[in-house]
Amino acid sequence: MTSPETTPQKKSLNFIEQQVEADLANGLNDSRIQTRFPPEPNGYLHIGHAKAICLDFGIAQRYGGVCNLRFDDTNPTKEDMEYMDAIKQDIRWLGFQWANEYYASDYFQQLWDFALRLIREGKAYIDEQSAEDIAAQKGTPTRPGTESPYRNRPVEESLSLFEKMNSGEVEEGRMVLRAKIDMASPNMHFRDPIIYRVVNHPHPRTGTTWKAYPMYDFAHGQSDFFEGVTHSLCTLEFVPHRPLYDLFVDWVKEGKDLNDHRPRQYEFNKLNLNYVLLSKRNLLTMVKEGIVDGWDDPRMPTLCGFRRRGYSPESIRKFVDKIGYTTFDALNDFALLESAVREDLNDRAQRVSAVLHPVKLTITNYPEGQVEEMEAINNPEHPEQGTHTIPFSRDLYVERDDFMEDAPKKYFRLTPGQDVRLKNAYIVHCDGCRKDNDGNVVEILCTYDPVSKSGMPGAGRKVKGTIHWLSQEHCVKAEVRLYDRIWKEENPRDALAAIREEQQCDALTAMKQMLNPHSLETLTDCYVEPYAATLQGEHYLQFQRIGYFTYDTSHTAERPVFNRTVGLRDSWKK
């Protein structure tokens, strides 16, 4: 076990790290550290989960502890093996490896036995009231609740009904098991919380063995306890659950472990990003209703969406590190995430040339049929990564907006009478253009300076502008997808709730009113240099002067498809 003193120094400790260090110093749990990441397998992981993952795994790494993956699979109607596999893939992609893979469903027997014990001890009872009646009796934080008429029923009755809840004899919703705590407690979670309910749906792992399933509050803390978790880190909405968490752990411990071996829950703020809707429930609606092209649509805030969009795992980790952990909710700026990815990709990305809005450029004094291989640097941040070549010829494509017939003074690109350098190649002089009958520019006419290439006598001649280009004959046609924010609303979570409230409508109806109609722009008439189409294995690209891109999952060398990860500069304030 490494002590805090031997771990690498970083700026300052966040409040969870401070707590962990205090717990270690006090010798709690024999100064052992064990955390867990506990996803419910009811959807794919999103960037909010990345924040939890970085903390759960990060604390274990930093303090020489263990972090396990535990699937919180107590709700069989919503859960699926597909999600479990995807969750594991995404955690690994993010750069973390769990020590053990656990399932809350592995503890169904232990939880059942514990529940039986509570009934026998008079700490739990079967309530046969409807969900509505139970809710109506809850009271309010300032008004005590009403005790259920079943609260003091004989233990034997509860025991026998509990067995029936699990044998298939009891329909869903007919009865529940409740902990008997305090209907007048100022903490609403103490007002005889439901701890077991009937679910008549096969479980992805335990099949039809169980019909009675533990509720989250009854499964989570006990699972932590059974596994030996020391620090159970979760988000702030669980603050009011903490006393119940502690109570159930006290009950399950039954005075054992006098050395105070027990898990402790600590809460941190959720990640919220502007223009982004998190929460798997909402994301599932978007996928099911076809608002997006699957969980990994590059506009989705899922980890697989960011991966397909071209985000590196490092950029997500850096972003999480930048925003940090606090005890109050905030709305973070998406631009901060983009600046993290830009910073990371600047270091990582392979530079290539692509023309997204092509127009022809002809070098009228360059020999017809001649081809030169020009040398292009792979990554100026890493000269050791070498160069590749890009074919040059008389007939090129350049970006349409790199030419202007009547240009303003500070326009240093192609305009009649002006010299411009073609990157990695020659200086050309713009002589004019040809237009079609409608007045659209269809060809730019230039002459080149044959001694202006790198290594030649005229190479040092300075011109103000440099533009990129592709050889018409050699470049490869490609589809390029440009993404923008999917929601028009800065705070889509609140906006969604407000619309639903106002119009009394479902989530889909509300979502449709919030959609940015321009979140995806598909360009089908783009070109890339041959090297970019055939590159193998390299994932992160910079289309020079345009932005960061990656191959889409549908990409092939014959039919290249690229996704824009992020532009070169912040365009969010537009």
Q: Which residues bind ligand ATP (CB under 6 A)?
A: 38-40, 46, 48-49, 51-52, 72, 234-235, 270-271, 278-280
Name which of Mg ion, ligand ATP, none residue 33 binds, using a CB cut-off of 5 to 8 Å depending on partner kind. Answer: none
- Report d(CA 240, CA 356) in Å as an integer: 53
Nearer to ligand ATP (CB atom), residue 336 or residue 441: 336
DSSP assignment of 104-148: GGGGHHHHHHHHHHHHHTTSEEEE-S-HHHHHHTT-BTTB-----
CB 310 within 8 A of CB 333: no
Quick one: which of 353, 352, 354, 358 has its CA closest to 525? 358
96 Rama class: left (phi>0) / alpha (psi -120 to 50) / beta: beta
CB 223 within 8 A of CB 107: yes
- Report d(CA 379, CA 161) in Å as an integer: 70
Name which of Mg ion, ligand ATP, none residue 38 binds, using a CB cut-off of 5 to 8 Å depending on partner kind. Answer: ligand ATP
CB of 109 to ligand ATP, least distance (A): 23
Name which of ligand ATP, Mg ion, none residue 49 binds, using a CB cut-off of 5 to 8 Å depending on partner kind. Answer: ligand ATP
Name which of ligand ATP, Mg ion, none residue 271 binds, using a CB cut-off of 5 to 8 Å depending on partner kind. Answer: ligand ATP
Of residues 85-124, which lie at the interface with Mg ion (CB under 5 A)? none
Nearer to ligand ATP (CB atom), residue 219 or residue 352: 219
DSSP three-state, residue 339: helix
Name which of ligand ATP, Mg ion, none residue 421 binds, using a CB cut-off of 5 to 8 Å depending on partner kind. Answer: none
CB of 40 to ligand ATP, least distance (A): 4
Looking at beta carbons, which residue is closest to Mg ion? 40
Nearer to Mg ion (CB atom), residue 80 or residue 375: 80
CB of 283 to Mg ion, least distance (A): 11
Name which of Mg ion, ligand ATP, none residue 413 binds, using a CB cut-off of 5 to 8 Å depending on partner kind. Answer: none
Nearer to ligand ATP (CB atom), residue 186 or residue 324: 324
CB of 55 to Mg ion, least distance (A): 17
CB of 17 to ligand ATP, least distance (A): 16
Strands of 419-422's sheet in order across: 466-467, 419-422, 427-435, 441-448, 358-363, 395-399, 470-471
Quick one: which of 253, 256, 215, 285 has its CA closest to 40? 215
Name which of ligand ATP, Mg ion, none residue 309 binds, using a CB cut-off of 5 to 8 Å depending on partner kind. Answer: none
CB of 51 to ligand ATP, least distance (A): 4
Name which of ligand ATP, Mg ion, none residue 270 binds, using a CB cut-off of 5 to 8 Å depending on partner kind. Answer: ligand ATP
Nearer to ligand ATP (CB atom), residue 49 or residue 351: 49
Residue in the structure block whose two tokens are 């990815």: 341
- Report d(CA 335, CA 128) in Å as an integer: 52
CB of 49 to ligand ATP, least distance (A): 5
Name which of ligand ATP, Mg ion, none residue 39 binds, using a CB cut-off of 5 to 8 Å depending on partner kind. Answer: ligand ATP
Distance (Å) of CA 63 to CA 20, 28, 159, 205: 9, 14, 44, 33
- Report d(CA 529, CA 389) in Å as an integer: 9
CB of 317 to ligand ATP, least distance (A): 14
- Report d(CA 412, CA 403) in Å as an integer: 10
Nearer to ligand ATP (CB atom), residue 103 or residue 397: 103
Nearer to ligand ATP (CB atom), residue 219 or residue 414: 219
CB 185 within 8 A of CB 214: no
Name which of Mg ion, ligand ATP, none residue 242 binds, using a CB cut-off of 5 to 8 Å depending on partner kind. Answer: none
Query: What are the DSSP E strand ranges found in 449-569?
Result: 466-467, 470-471, 476-483, 520-528, 541-543, 547-551, 561-567
List residues bridging with 233 in a β-sheet: 266
Give 239's contacts (C-beta < 8 A, 6+ positions apart).
267
CB of 72 to ligand ATP, least distance (A): 6
CB of 52 to ligand ATP, least distance (A): 4
Q: How many Cβ atoms from other residues are within 10 Å of residue 231's Cβ?
A: 26
Nearer to Mg ion (CB atom), residue 45 or residue 495: 45
Q: How far apart are the first and last CA of the chain?
A: 51
Name which of ligand ATP, Mg ion, none residue 73 binds, using a CB cut-off of 5 to 8 Å depending on partner kind. Answer: none
Nearer to ligand ATP (CB atom), residue 48 or residue 76: 48
Looking at beta carbons, which residue is closest to ligand ATP? 48
Residue in the structure block whose two tokens are 């709700």: 75
Q: In this structure, what token pair is assigned to residue 261?
A: 């071996």
Q: How many Cβ atoms from other residues are within 10 Å of residue 278's Cβ?
A: 19
Of residues 24-53, which lie at the interface with Mg ion (CB under 5 A)? 40
CB of 260 to ligand ATP, least distance (A): 24
Burial grade of 343 (CB within 10 A; 0-12, 13-18, 19 or more): middle
Nearer to ligand ATP (CB atom), residue 480 or residue 510: 510
Nearer to Mg ion (CB atom), residue 300 or residue 422: 300
Nearer to ligand ATP (CB atom), residue 75 or residue 544: 75
CB of 40 to Mg ion, least distance (A): 5
Residues that bind Mg ion (CB under 5 A): 40
